[in-house]
Amino acid sequence: MDSFTDELLGIKKDKYAVGDLVKTRTGIDATGESWIGIIRSITVLKNKEGDTKNMYTVDWVDEEAKEVLWYDWYDEDLQLVQRVASC
């Protein structure tokens, strides 16, 4: 429920953390499977109107993905597979 309330109030929090395992929302490879990657960094982008957007740099697990995919992704592009372990 927090995310819905935050969305109504215009609060943008990082949906993912550095180290989270994520996958692409749409099938990208030749077989239609999603690529798997690890969030490397998070950048908050802000435009002149004050709108913010989280941009994630992802290190892809598959070597082929590293050659064909761009590094910068947004909340709506990714889906969480597993949170980073907090020890």
Chain centre distance of CA 59: 11
pLDDT value of position 3? 56
Beta partners for residue 44, in sequence order: 54
Tell me the mean pLDDT per 10 residues along the chain, length 87.
54 78 85 89 88 89 80 89 80
Of the candidates 65, 70, 56, which has an alpha carbon nearest to the alpha carbon of residue 12?
56
pLDDT value of position 1? 43
| DSSP 3-state of 6 | helix
